[in-house]
Amino acid sequence: MLKNKNILYIVISLAIFVVLALVYNSPIISGKQLLQHDIVQYKGGAKELLDYRAENGKETYWSDAMFGGMPTYQSGSQFRGDIIKKIDDTLNFLPKPANFIFLLFAGFFLLGYVATKNWKYALLGATFFGLSTYFYIIIAAGHNGKVATLTYFAPLLAGILLVYIRKKYILGFIVTALFMGLQIAANHPQMTYYLFLALGFLFLSELVRAATGKTPWKHFFISSGILALAMILGIGMNSQRLLANSEYVKETVRGKQILKSEHNAADNDGMKKQEILNWSYGKLETLNLFIPRAMGGASDEEGSDEMMKKVQELVQENVTSQEEYDQISKGFGGSLTYWGNQPGTSGPAYQGAIVVFLAILGFFFGWKKYRYWILGASVLSVLLAWGSNFMPLSELFIKFVPFYDKFRAPSSILVVVELLFPLIAIIGLYRFFNDEKLTEEYKQKVLVYGSSTVLGITLLLVIFGKSLLGFATSNETAYLPPYLLDYLVGERFTMFRIDAIKAMIYVSITALALYFALKKKLSQNIALIVIGLVSLFDLWSVNKRYLNSDNFVDKAFAQTPFVTENSDYLAGKAGDNPLLNDLLSRANMNKTLEEITEKDKTHYRIFNQLLGPFNETNTSYYKASVGGYHAVKLRRYDDLINHYFYAEDSVKSAQIPQILNLLNTKYVVGGTLEQPQVQINPNANGNAWLVSDIKFVNTPNEEIDEIGNIDSKKTAVISKDDKKYFEGKTLAADSTAFVNLTKYQADELEYKTQSKTPQLAVFSEIYYPKGWKMFVDGKEVPYIKADYLLRAVYVPAGTHTVKMIFEPEVIAKGKTISMIAFGLFVLLSLVGIFWLYKNKYSVILSEAKRSEESV
């Protein structure tokens, strides 16, 4: 009967999660959809991929849409035989973003149930975790891969705890393998990496427990072996994805440096230190876990518009010279509300005042088998989140911890704290109410001292916060006049004080509920309901600052954000929604891009200067772009951008036209968003050209320098490493030689060449050493890199057909491994379930036999 009741409560809990997810995102019920910046960018960059899939019924793993061309492994590609992804699609049955919120709730419910064996605490913990503010910030931004990975954090940990703590080997194996596979399928390696840093503390904890006799060595080795097998199979189910990305990442900005500079030596692995440590959390900014606007919240926090108006008024009233105005301009860093250490932020990593308070108590009340490893992992995560603000540890990890230098934005490691604080909070609560080993005296002592300390420190910050925290950046203090500085500090302190007082109220209510429950003045259930409702109100209200009805728009806008008209009808639908008005402001530009592509259907690239060429995908939605938007660009293309387009050297900047010619840039779009101007580039090299003059260079630095100096239509810059390619081959000039593109699709290009002499065909296609195959008259031939980042092949005299096909072997290999891994998972799971059933049946028979004998 008890078991049936638990099943009923579990079903009811899941239903509550569905309701909460839908109510929070209520606009989707009326047909609206979430408009996310990064998803808009994705739709532009993935347009060629999506069109190819729709037209051909198969996948292309290369697209020319962004940055001259790149693999699609991290741009939305799908893999045949990807069964684990189909399971993920099934679990995401609710419309976005309710699907993410439901899975955050449900996943932690499983973890909470494993940790406490009680649905009430699992339900409470699920709301603690599922309403963490950071998740709603990244949902609003469109970081879907990140939040999808986070949804599987808790159930994966649940599987591990089932094995290590609960000794449920078979069930733990199934849960661990399944959610390991699902997490990797979500495809955000950085989040998974951070989780495993935390899991390292759990492993060490279990090792210490075995070494000190708390658990048998046999259990530790069996558990570790089972979990290792489960994780290997989970990884194996994603072999296509992992092998492709592993191959790809070596050629990207996350791989080895190619150029030597004052900042790095060639062959240095990973990103530059300053890139890794950008978006480091400030030490004081860690207060955001407890007080959401400790550092002013988001860069464009609600109320910033009014602050800007007031600042402008104060400047107009007080500034008397241009010199004064210039001085003030130096003091502003781009945000009136946020004054933390990061370059900017969409909001704080708010964990919840009640959750943080209960986590603190949990480190005193929780079982030792949980609290020490959770404390260690949480402390490390906070210290690593500080990044450049705590260099000794960051330097250590960058230099010595494998793969740490592949990731940027260290502040995002706080997702570990957002998982572990709710866990230790509900474990501590459970023991507070249900473990008789904790005396009433001990509970009262910890509760009184804990709440007094938290409330006392917060009160001190409310009273003396201005002098203790400052509420201004060093830049503002140095350049802003007193009247402006006083205004900013006053406004920021007001925001802080409001949230700090709220935190004190929430903590006080929680402490009183626990105290009265301890004194039997309040039942356990009522105390849990009070804590749950207050926490729900707290987190819900803060989250609505960053993900609210303004983020949901008419379905037509969300599905086709690249509008080509700004009519009164659309303007009326947009209203005062800043997201929609931003899209509408691009209508004339989009119309211009559409007209270009309708009139000229040949293959070429567009250089669009209106939105920042290397930070937009509007252009890619219509045609292949010189620019794009992606965090993991190919290294050689990124080098080209930095070397020429972002050059401080005026000589390099002046050579940009030569680079655009190399990239077959037929059209340049300038002017303004309201009045775009199109310039045809008559000097574009075309899709391919034949050269007979070769200039060999010794280093990559010389190679990238020379492509700005040469006449690339006549001369190709070749690395000395490819000299052997020309052994036994002759090249001779022929003014009548030509090469034409006769067929184009993303992963297959065909050309016709004609010349009286042997030539080197250079293609305005980005060089990528894996997957591309080159054929001359149907026979596969080797090809080389030319002009630092393009493909080239030797073509004999005469008329020939040259074909390039992208057929990455890693995809077929990965599919085979994925299918084998999934098959083994299913087989082992079925064997395990059968063994459990058989044992249970044997026990039932034995008990029945004993009953008969006793009669």
DSSP string, 560-623: ----S---HHHHHHHTT-HHHHHHHTTHHHHHHHHHHHHH--SS-EEEE-SS-TTS--HHHHHS
- Residue pair 267/256 in contact (Cβ under 8 Å)? The answer is yes
End-to-end CA distance of the chain: 26
Phi, psi values for residue 98, rounded to 5°: -60, -30
> Chain centroid to CA 126: how far?
22
- Residue pair 674/588 in contact (Cβ under 8 Å)? The answer is yes
How sure is the predictor about 849, in pLDDT bands with cuts at 50, 70 and 90? Answer: low
**Eight-state DSSP code of residue 644:** I
- Residue pair 35/558 in contact (Cβ under 8 Å)? The answer is yes
Q: What is the model's pLDDT at position 516?
A: 97
Q: Give the separation between CA 590 and CA 312, rounded to whole angstroms.
A: 34
Name every residue whose Cβ is closer than 8 Å to that of residue 610 and which is 6 or more positions away in sequence.
589, 669, 670, 671, 672, 673, 676
Per-residue pLDDT, averaged over 640-655, amounts to: 91
Per-residue pLDDT, averaged over 341-361, amounts to: 95
Per the DSSP assignment, residues forming a β-bridge with 715 are: 693
Residue 264 clears pLDDT 60, i.e. is over it: no
Element (H, E) at 699: none
pLDDT in tens, 117-133: 999 999 999 999 999 99
pLDDT in tens, 587-619: 999 999 999 999 999 999 999 999 888 999 999
pLDDT in tens, 402-435: 989 889 899 999 999 999 999 999 999 999 999 9
Which amino acid appears at position 28 of this protein?
I
DSSP 709-731: TS-TTTEEEEEGGGGGGGTT---
- Residue pair 35/561 in contact (Cβ under 8 Å)? The answer is yes
Per the DSSP assignment, residues forming a β-bridge with 77 are: none
C-alpha distances (whole Å) from 795 to each of 603, 692, 764, 765 are: 22, 11, 16, 17
Q: Give the separation between CA 338 and CA 293, rounded to whole angstroms.
A: 8
- Residue pair 782/726 in contact (Cβ under 8 Å)? The answer is no
Helix (H, G, I), strand (E, B) or coil at 804: strand
**Eight-state DSSP code of residue 280:** P
Residue 160 clears pLDDT 90, i.e. is over it: yes
Tokens (6 digits) for 301? 């926090």
- Residue pair 409/438 in contact (Cβ under 8 Å)? The answer is no
Per-residue pLDDT, averaged over 454-459, amounts to: 97
Q: What is the model's pLDDT at position 29?
A: 93
Residue 459 clears pLDDT 50, i.e. is over it: yes
pTM over 0.85: yes
How sure is the predictor about 143, in pLDDT bands with cuts at 50, 70 and 90? Answer: very high
pLDDT in tens, 291-347: 999 999 999 898 888 898 998 889 888 888 888 888 888 888 778 999 998 988 999
User: Going along 626-771, which residue ranges are E strands?
Assistant: 665-671, 676-680, 688-691, 693-697, 715-719, 738-745, 748-755, 759-766
Phi, psi values for residue 361, rounded to 5°: -65, -35
Q: What is the model's pLDDT at position 262?
A: 64
Residue 1 clears pLDDT 70, i.e. is over it: no
Q: What is the model's pLDDT at position 267?
A: 47
- Residue pair 551/28 in contact (Cβ under 8 Å)? The answer is no
Per-residue pLDDT, averaged over 736-743, amounts to: 96
Element (H, E) at 165: none
Residue 69 clears pLDDT 90, i.e. is over it: yes
The per-residue pLDDT of the chain, averaged, comes to 92
Q: Give the separation between CA 232 and CA 279, rounded to whole angstroms.
A: 33
Q: What is the model's pLDDT at position 269?
A: 55
How sure is the predictor about 436, in pLDDT bands with cuts at 50, 70 and 90? Answer: confident
- Residue pair 181/84 in contact (Cβ under 8 Å)? The answer is yes
Q: What is the model's pLDDT at position 826?
A: 96
pLDDT in tens, 616-629: 999 999 999 999 99
Per-residue pLDDT, averaged over 76-91, amounts to: 92
Per-residue pLDDT, averaged over 679-687, amounts to: 96
- Residue pair 155/111 in contact (Cβ under 8 Å)? The answer is yes
Residue 505 clears pLDDT 90, i.e. is over it: yes
Helix ranges (DSSP H) in 338-481: 353-365, 368-385, 391-400, 415-434, 440-469, 474-479
pLDDT in tens, 762-784: 999 999 999 999 999 999 999 99
- Residue pair 503/489 in contact (Cβ under 8 Å)? The answer is no
